[in-house]
Homo-oligomer: A and B are copies of this chain.
Amino acid sequence: MKALVAGGAGFIGSHLIDALLKEGHEVVCIDNFFIGTRANIQYLKGVDNFRFYEQDLTKFDKILNIFEKEKPEYIFHLAANSDIQASAENPMIEYQNTYSTTFNLLECMRRTNVKKLFFASTSAVYGEQMGAEVSEEAVALKPISYYGGAKLGSEAMISAFAYMNDMEVLVFRFPNVIGPRLTHGVIFDFVKRLKADPSHLRILGDGTQSKPYMHVLDLVGAIMRFKDVPAGVSLYNVGVESQTSVTRIAEIVCEKMGLSGIPFEYTGGRGGWKGDVPVFAYDLGKIHAAGWQAEMSSDEAVAKTVEAVI
A138 in the interface (beta carbon within 8 A): yes
Question: What residues of B have a CB within 8 angstroms of the CB of A158 in the complex?
Answer: 149
Q: Mostly helix, strand, loop or mixed at chain A's interface?
A: helix
A140 to B91: give the CA distance in the assembly, Å.
26
A35 in the interface (beta carbon within 8 A): no
Q: Within the oligomer, what is the number of copies of this chain?
A: 2
A149-B158, A149-B160 known; 13 new pairs, CB 8 Å cut-off, are A91-B107, A91-B160, A95-B100, A127-B159, A136-B140, A143-B163, A144-B163, A145-B160, A145-B163, A148-B160, A150-B156, A150-B157, A164-B275
Interface string of A123-140 (1 = CB under 8 A from B): 001010000000011111
Question: What residues of B have a CB within 8 angstroms of the CB of A310 in the complex?
Answer: none
Interface size grouping (class) on chain A? 35 or more
Question: What residues of B have a CB within 8 angstroms of the CB of A154 in the complex?
Answer: 153
30 contacts between A and B (CB under 8 A): A91-B106, A91-B160, A91-B161, A95-B103, A95-B107, A99-B103, A99-B157, A127-B159, A138-B138, A141-B141, A141-B159, A142-B159, A142-B163, A142-B233, A143-B159, A143-B163, A144-B160, A144-B164, A145-B163, A146-B157, A146-B160, A146-B164, A149-B158, A153-B153, A153-B156, A153-B157, A156-B156, A160-B275, A163-B274, A164-B275
